Structure 1
Amino acid sequence: MAGLTTLLLPFATLVALSGSAEAAPDAPPKAAAEAAAEATATYAKTQDWGSGFEGKWTVKNTGTAALSSWTVEWDFPSGTRVTSAWDATVTNSGNRWTAKNLGWNGTLAPGASVTFGFNGSGTGNPDNCTLNGESCDGGGQPGDKPPSAPGAPTASDVTETSVKLDWKAATDDKGVKNYDVLRDGAKVATVTGTSYADSGLTKGTDYSYAVQARDTADQTGPASASVKVRTKGGGPDPDPGDKVKLGYFTNWGVYQRNYHVKNIVTSGSAEKITHINYAFGNVQNGRCTIGDSYADYEKAYTADQSVDGVADTWDQPLRGNFNQLRKLKAKYPHIKVLWSFGGWTWSGGFTDAMKNPQAFADSCYKLVEDPRWADVFDGIDLDWEYPNACGLTCDTSGPAVMKTMMQAFRSKFGANNLVTAAITADASPGGKIDSADYGGAAQYTDWYNVMTYDFFGAWDAKGPTAPHSPLTDYPGIPKQGFTSAAAIDKLKAKGVPAKKLLLGIGFYGRGWTGVTQKEPGGTATGPAQGAYEQGIEDYKVLKNSCPSNGTVAGTAYAHCGTNWWSYDTPATVRAKMAWAKEQGLGGAFFWEFSGDTANGELVTAIHEGLK
């Protein structure tokens, strides 16, 4: 059965018999023997991203006697595998998979249930399941399918503390018993009808609601599409005319960099930003897919790591960065979060995806609006490096592909979601800006994040040394058109409104070693050493290890020993923000939070510079 399978298995104590009808001396009392336990093992595919999926088993004791342990076994078709699992020990022999309880979740009292889950590769569903060695044949309800998804709820009678929800009924071959109402991915009520009034809410707060049906066999169907609701009150929303102050948060930053959502709060940055781009989701096989499931929604946070000081529990429906972003938005409701897909490493999937723009946009919408985290995200950011041009890979889709993509995504995501893109700043004659129709695509975007950094760096190992983020031209610049001003001017000339352009700031420096000349234009022997990779280092490190001793083209540089670095400082950031205001730009964005100091010096400079 695709997606959801329920297996009803009888368990009874076996009694050894002699030639007579009497029980053997060591047999249990008759009452215990008759206290037969029944149990179900229910499988659900909770997410599918094409090349892989997330699955969940629920083992429930439906009888009158306790179960002391459980083992679930099943077959997967060739090509389908478990890649990681939680809350059970999962092993395999060929295509036969076995899941055993852990030490703490093996005992199930009558009526109790336990779940375990896994990520898998491939697309297959389990078959030939057994629970504690008993066959599944004859125990279940053959052919009994789970209910369909109900209609998306509609909201009415919204007050400061309550909202009324209505939805179209689900269908089921055996009949629908009731509905679970999900608020921000967590169940808040179970009702028998198709409406519910939720109360006790916080004024001026965003909520996301979905519903899912349960049939008379206690099978739960898929969740409906979600609806977003903002309660009244709580003060006015931020002025939409205010400048955008956006930062990228990377999911891999929670590892070696040890940078978490809570650091946005402790640095004082949360009060000073308006938007966060969560980077990155992947683009594979024509679809948007999860980038790092562990960091995104599985990692358990302790109380001291968490935004609100509350630890995650093992059984909560959402953990990881997504849950921390949810908590951040609850504390700072002015912040909007977009999910960014692609980036330098994962841009190669866009070419294939754009063979069917509508299907691509639909897959991304379903992932962003997944009921488990729909309330976390306020839109999508597409970081294709680069349409109809070369980055890590080359694309030859033609200049119209950018407009086609943004039109498809605006159509799917609608007017109430943000749809943005990170784009090239290469304004050289015949360069990347000239390769795609950014002007035509602008009508469908809320704004562009113009990547006005990484113009020059130690990929040219012998130099010449040059600032990686020059605001303006300067004598001796290695390549014309490689400045922020040139990029903004060219995009305006192509019809992009100034208010839809954000100026990019790098929270890091790029540098060379083997340099004797203090000023730009010197020769080098290779990239300078960085903490994570050669030729690049965070601002928070460089401000102390190699302090700025000069400026050129609106940005700072530093020569210390034989190393030469360029990077932005609070002073140059403020000057760039003043320039952005003069140009009528929509604001600024930066890559990325973890490069800033513990007290958010660079975020503060952006905030103050755009006042």
Structure 2
Amino acid sequence: MSRQGGRRGIALAGAATLAAATALLAAPPASSAGTITAECTKTQDWGSGFGGTCTITNGTDAPLSGWKLEAELPSGTSISSVWNATQTVSGNVYTFTNPTWNGNLAAGNKTSFGFNGTGSGFFTGCKINGASCNGDSGPGDDAEAPTAPSGLRATGSTPTSVSLAWNASTDNVAVTGYDVYRGTTKAASVTGTSTTITGLTAKTAYTFTVKAHDAAGNSSPASQTLSVTTPDGDGSGAGDKVIGYFVNWGVYQRNYHVKNIETSGSANKLTHINYAFGNVQGGRCTIGDGYADYEKAYGADQSVDGVADTWDQPLRGNFNQLRKLKKKHPGLKVLWSFGGWTWSGGFGQAAQNPAAFADSCYKLVEDSRWADVFDGIDIDWEYPNACGLTCDESGPDAFTKLLSALRSKFGSDNLVTAAITADASAGGKMDKADYKGASQYVDYYLPMTYDYFGAWDAKGPTAPHSPLTSYPSIPHEGFNTADTIAKLKGLGIPGNKLVMGLGFYGRGWTGVTQKEPGGTATGPAPGKYEQGIEDYKDLKGRCPSNGTVAGTAYAHCGNQWWSYDTPSTIGGKMKWAASEGLGGSFFWELSGDTANGELISAIKNGLG
């Protein structure tokens, strides 16, 4: 989320170039002569879409007078344009036939057609002129069906959707995909082991099964039946999360204490507090700042309930003050957040033994001295299998394994959440780890939809650090909230499992002459605690906003240029979050707000 003593001090990685892929169909062309074969390949893949080509080979000894290629695409993937072929679509089945000028194919010759698509899937069940694409007339020598998928489970639901996951099937050759059935109706075809079924009705019971299939067309027995009832459509239990980070170092120079959460009125508006940060060292969860966490003695004037600490009481510090705050607000949940910008370097070692790491975290969070204070754990790994303050090479599945171990250890009675990257650029941080697979183990994700741009690019261009949407001169595509949420939803993560991020601060440059975004600069603007960053409570008077771009306020005062959210822009962002069916909003962090909680009030009012 941010480093100790400040906030995140470096930009997200720049947008990557398009990655060339060679994702061949699971049914490759046969090497023997005497058959008509087809091979379809992705030539480009940019995450939200792809380009591809299919090559048809006449391996017979006679001329071919026409061809027809049929294949299925999983739900959420479609072909948007095609050339050198004529396309028809029926449900998930795509049929490509030759135009008049390339239907005749001499013996031994080839022809091809190209296409562009949207989504992340690709063809399955390919047939060429009625036979499977590897030249067989049917299942051929492979008559063995895959095993039935196991462990079918619901990983999330909204009034109109259900997210499902299951364990992979096995096959004597290879499993090429899965068909998901709602009752007896095929609802989706996918290549992975999860999907989201949409178009459902609130407060309605549905049954689901899954079948696996292979390249030869063999279909497995159905999985066990899963029954799911969608929740009420009145929004109860979804969309109302207001989550604020409280930083343990704030009790020093910032002079911000747990009591300020109460006196500002913020405690009445919060649903959750994330306490930042615990450290990650030696593959374990460890204390971040013992003095601030549980040793500092509070006098009556700084105590939540007006009662001073005594020298011999078993728990003092922030933990005891949080206990008092929860007593005043019984519905308030507190999670202990581990990692952050500075302390994420320890997650790589933790990922080598996820079970041991989870055990250490559970023992620390559930320590008898403060077990009643915390309702779960928040993981802030910046970033799995990618670069933040340091670079991690733990592998794309490390994040999933770590959260799986935490969920197993903490159980269903505790919250397990994770703050995650907001980099939606092609080939960016979101593509480096299995955020979809890991999502089944968390109660919700907190995508950090801020710090997209800042004065780490000392010469600019100036840009809002928390843009809601893209805009014509945005420095990097994929660096905005709408693209972030769209990419996460595109992975199959339901909206109510995503909590939108806000910054209670601004980022700024100096040496700027241009009022509008896109100007050049000479360096970071001065800040009270760190160059290039300032709390909202100070900026609102020091450099009032005089424009908006992409749903975020900006201000040009003198030679400084700042961007930050105001009550007005937060109101607009909350309307957008509601329209997307998101789970609510979180912010970094409580001490940046005004003494009467202007920004948190805007969140609460905007969510309704």
Q: In the alignment, what sits opposite 1:478?
A: 475
2:332 is aligned with 1:355: no
Q: Render the CA deviation track for 1:471-510: whole Å, top value 9, x for unaligned.
A: 0000100000000000000001112111110100000000
Q: Could you tell me how far apart the structure 2 residues matched to 1:487 and 1:434 are? A: 12
Q: In the alignment, what sits opposite 1:389?
A: 386
Aligned pairs for 1:250-399 (under 5 A) are 250-399=247-396
Q: In the alignment, what sits opposite 2:586?
A: 589
Q: Could you tell me how far apart the structure 2 residues matched to 1:493 and 1:406 are? A: 21
Contact 1:368 1:377 in 2 (8 A): yes
> What is the TM-score of this pair, normalised by structure 1?
0.61
User: Higher RCO, 1 or 2 (CA under 8 Å, sep at least 6)?
Assistant: 2
Question: Which runs of 5 or more residues in structure 1 are unaligned?
Answer: 1-237
The SS at the match of 2:342 is helix
Contact 2:261 2:590 in 1 (8 A): yes
2:428 is aligned with 1:428: no
Q: In the alignment, what sits opposite 2:563?
A: 566
Q: In the alignment, what sits opposite 1:497?
A: 494
Q: In the alignment, what sits opposite 2:575?
A: 578
The SS at the match of 2:364 is helix
Q: In the alignment, what sits opposite 1:405?
A: 402
Task: Please report how far the alpha carbon of residue 399 of structure 1 lies from its aligned counterpart in structure 2 after TM superposition.
Answer: 1.0
Q: Render the CA deviation track for 1:558-598: whole Å, top value 9, x for unaligned.
A: 00000000000000001001100000000110000000000
Kindly tell me the number of residue pairs found equivalent between the two proteins: 374
Q: Could you tell me how far apart the structure 1 residues matched to 2:268 and 2:239 are? A: 14
Aligned pairs for 1:446-525 (under 5 A) are 446-525=443-522
The SS at the match of 1:565 is strand
The one-letter code sitting in structure 2 at the alignment partner of 1:515 is V
Aligned pairs for 1:440-451 (under 5 A) are 440-451=437-448
The one-letter code sitting in structure 2 at the alignment partner of 1:486 is D
Question: Which runs of 5 or more residues in structure 2 are unaligned?
Answer: 1-234
Q: In the alignment, what sits opposite 1:101?
A: none
Q: Could you tell me how far apart the structure 2 residues matched to 1:495 and 1:533 are? A: 38
The SS at the match of 2:440 is helix
The SS at the match of 2:445 is strand
Q: Could you tell me how far apart the structure 2 residues matched to 1:242 and 1:555 are? A: 21
Aligned pairs for 1:173-252 (under 5 A) are 240-241=237-238, 243-252=240-249
Q: Could you tell me how far apart the structure 2 residues matched to 1:259 and 1:554 are? A: 29
Aligned pair partner of 1:605 in 588, 602, 606: 602
Contact 1:505 1:588 in 2 (8 A): yes
The SS at the match of 1:380 is strand
Q: Could you tell me how far apart the structure 1 residues matched to 2:550 and 2:405 are? A: 39
Q: Render the CA deviation track for 1:441-471: whole Å, top value 9, x for unaligned.
A: 1111000111000000000000000000000
Q: Could you tell me how far apart the structure 2 residues matched to 1:345 and 1:595 are? A: 20
The SS at the match of 2:336 is strand
Which of 1 and 2 has greater Rg? 1
The RMSD of aligned alpha carbons is 0.9
Q: In the alignment, what sits opposite 1:547?
A: 544
Task: Please report how far the alpha carbon of residue 240 of structure 1 lies from its aligned counterpart in structure 2 after TM superposition.
Answer: 3.2
Task: Please report how far the alpha carbon of residue 242 of structure 1 lies from its aligned counterpart in structure 2 after TM superposition.
Answer: 5.3
Q: Render the CA deviation track for 1:352-395: whole Å, top value 9, x for unaligned.
A: 11100000000000000000000000000000000000000001
The one-letter code sitting in structure 2 at the alignment partner of 1:333 is P
Q: Could you tell me how far apart the structure 2 residues matched to 1:365 and 1:478 are? A: 42
Contact 1:440 1:495 in 2 (8 A): no
Q: Render the CA deviation track for 1:95-145: whole Å, top value 9, x for unaligned.
A: xxxxxxxxxxxxxxxxxxxxxxxxxxxxxxxxxxxxxxxxxxxxxxxxxxx
The SS at the match of 1:270 is helix
The SS at the match of 2:359 is helix
Q: Could you tell me how far apart the structure 2 residues matched to 1:421 and 1:242 are? A: 17
Q: Render the CA deviation track for 1:215-260: whole Å, top value 9, x for unaligned.
A: xxxxxxxxxxxxxxxxxxxxxxx96345110000000000000000
Q: Could you tell me how far apart the structure 1 residues matched to 2:553 and 2:295 are? A: 40
Q: Could you tell me how far apart the structure 1 residues matched to 2:238 and 2:429 are? A: 30
Contact 1:471 1:484 in 2 (8 A): yes
The SS at the match of 1:444 is coil
457-466 vs 242-251, which moves further: 242-251
Q: Could you tell me how far apart the structure 2 residues matched to 1:316 and 1:240 are? A: 38
Q: Could you tell me how far apart the structure 2 residues matched to 1:243 and 1:437 are? A: 27
The SS at the match of 1:589 is strand
Q: Alpha carbons of 1:318 and 1:239: their partners in 2 closer, same or farther (altered >3 Å)?
A: farther
Q: Could you tell me how far apart the structure 2 residues matched to 1:320 and 1:239 are? A: 35
Contact 2:239 2:578 in 1 (8 A): no
Contact 2:535 2:592 in 1 (8 A): yes
Q: Render the CA deviation track for 1:523-580: whole Å, top value 9, x for unaligned.
A: 0000000000000000000000000000000000000000000000000001001100
The SS at the match of 2:266 is coil
Aligned pair partner of 2:524 in 527, 540, 543: 527
Contact 2:239 2:496 in 1 (8 A): no
The SS at the match of 2:430 is helix
Q: Render the CA deviation track for 1:159-208: whole Å, top value 9, x for unaligned.
A: xxxxxxxxxxxxxxxxxxxxxxxxxxxxxxxxxxxxxxxxxxxxxxxxxx
Task: Please report how far the alpha carbon of residue 397 of structure 1 lies from its aligned counterpart in structure 2 after TM superposition.
Answer: 1.2
Task: Please report how far the alpha carbon of residue 398 of structure 1 lies from its aligned counterpart in structure 2 after TM superposition.
Answer: 1.3
Contact 1:504 1:590 in 2 (8 A): yes
Extract structure 1 runs of 4+ deviating beyond 4 A. none
Q: Could you tell me how far apart the structure 1 residues matched to 2:306 and 2:575 are? A: 38
Q: Could you tell me how far apart the structure 1 residues matched to 2:269 and 2:285 are? A: 30
Contact 1:261 1:325 in 2 (8 A): yes
Q: Could you tell me how far apart the structure 1 residues matched to 2:294 and 2:607 are? A: 34
Q: Could you tell me how far apart the structure 2 residues matched to 1:499 and 1:400 are? A: 24
Q: Could you tell me how far apart the structure 1 residues matched to 2:553 and 2:237 are? A: 32
Q: Alpha carbons of 1:347 and 1:472: their partners in 2 closer, same or farther (altered >3 Å)?
A: same
The SS at the match of 1:348 is helix
Contact 2:543 2:556 in 1 (8 A): yes
Q: Could you tell me how far apart the structure 1 residues matched to 2:277 and 2:378 are? A: 10
Q: Could you tell me how far apart the structure 1 residues matched to 2:433 and 2:456 are? A: 25
Task: Please report how far the alpha carbon of residue 261 of structure 1 lies from its aligned counterpart in structure 2 after TM superposition.
Answer: 0.4
Aligned pairs for 1:77-92 (under 5 A) are none
Q: Could you tell me how far apart the structure 2 residues matched to 1:401 and 1:487 are? A: 21
